[in-house]
Amino acid sequence: MTSADVKQLVWGAILLALAACVPLVANGYWMSIALTIAMFTVLSTSWALFSGPTHYISLATAAFFGVGGFLVGTGMSDYNVDYWTMVVIASLAGTVLAFLVGLATLRLSGVYFVIFTLGLAEMIRTLVSWIQNNFTGSRGLYVLTDLGEVDIYLHLVLVAAFVYLAGWWIARSRLGFAMRIIGNDETVARHVGINTAFSKVILFTFSGFVASLVGALIAPRYTYIEPNGVFSPELSFIVVIMALLGGTGRLWGPIVGVIPFALLQEYINANYSNYSTLVLGIAFLVIVYFLPQGVLGRLEQLWAKRRQSTW
């Protein structure tokens, strides 16, 4: 490990410790915003771990997230299993699913992969509804725990720490090196002897695992789980968009997209509630036109300009 590496780890630890202190200063309102930010940060960053380097845009996040939430709901409500056991089971199920879906990355590319993941997520959603209707036949999935927003937030910060550590480690490893080459030119990567199949599947599985873990951890917040709610395709789109806005070039890119976007969304919802959808759409368009490389890209451009001007 070089001294640059050590510096990054220290920085990361400091920021995460700060994040963990947020509950000490935030009231209920800011806590719920912080929780939303934490959730999307984890989802976007783990998404970007795969989709950033490979440029394969996955819209399957909702499928894994939904599996996590749904299994927790059905396990607790129908089978009276306790919460933490269900979190483990749900994450494992999500991982297996992600592995299977990851195998699909070996066949498909480009926009075909994108829409494939979308169709898959929808298929899982309707399948789960059908299973619920015909087999578990549950009377609504109630997740009644004593976990409050602060607890869930801290869980998510822990997962975020894990994701950042994993990302940091991957970037330094042969896997990260392989992913960068794959992203630039997959044919070259294969010719150079990189096991592209293994790399892609492993990373995709990891991001799916994280998504299902998040789904399981967030379930107590909603109290009542409906399949059509937790498998919402909107979630997949928002995760992608936040990551793209922030910039997927760096590990800390997505969070730079999540925070301003979440705050902007909150500002619009609070002040223009009756027109929030319209204003949000316009805000989006403004962002796309003035921040083509995402927030990160713009920051880096300006940083580069600043450097140039000091010569």
**Distances from the Cα of 6 to the Cαs of 145, 290, 297, in angstroms?**
39, 35, 25
Please pick, from the candidates 36, 46, 54, 196, the single residue that binds another protein as defined by CB under 8 A: 36
Give me the least distance between CB of 200 and another protein, in Å please.
Answer: 14
- Angstrom distance (rounded) from CA 255 to CA 237: 16
Instruction: Output the CA–CA distances (angstroms, integers) from residue 159 to 36, 43, 155, 207, 249, in the order listed.
Output: 14, 10, 6, 12, 21
Contact characters 231-270, another protein, x per CB under 8 A:
-xxx--x--xx--xx--------------x--xx-xx-xx
Residue 273 binds to another protein (criterion: CB under 8 A) = yes
> What are the backbone angles phi and psi of residue 142, rounded to the nearest 5°?
-95, 125
200 binds another protein (CB under 8 A): no
CA–CA dist 85, 74 (Å, integer): 12
Q: Which is nearer to another protein, 16 or 109 (CB)?
A: 109
Please, is 182 exposed, middle or buried when counting C-beta atoms within 10 Å of its C-beta (0-12, 13-18, 19+)?
buried
The CB-of-119 to another protein minimum distance in angstroms stands at 5
Stretch that binds another protein, among 3-11, 116-124, 158-166, 198-206 (CB under 8 A): 116-124
In terms of CB distance, is 168 or 222 closer to another protein?
A: 222
> By rule CB under 8 A, what count of residues binds another protein?
87
- Does position 129 interact with another protein (CB under 8 A)? The reply is yes
Torsion angles phi and psi, residue 141, rounded to 5: -95, 105
For another protein, the binding residue among 27, 187, 309, 310 (CB under 8 A) is 27
Interface residue with another protein, options 32, 81, 92, 93 (CB under 8 A): 32
Q: Could you give the CA distance from residue 155 to residue 145 in angstroms, rounded to a whole number?
A: 15
229 binds another protein (CB under 8 A): yes
Nearer to another protein, 169 or 224 (CB): 224
Geometric angle at alpha carbon 290, from 115 and 285, rounded to 5°: 50
Which member of 14, 18, 281, 304 binds another protein (CB under 8 A)?
A: 281
Residue choice 6, 14, 21, 123 for contact with another protein (CB under 8 A)? 123
Residue located via tokens 């150079």: 192
Q: What do you get for the CA distance between the two ends of the chain, in Å?
A: 31
Q: Is 184 in the site for another protein (CB under 8 A)?
A: no
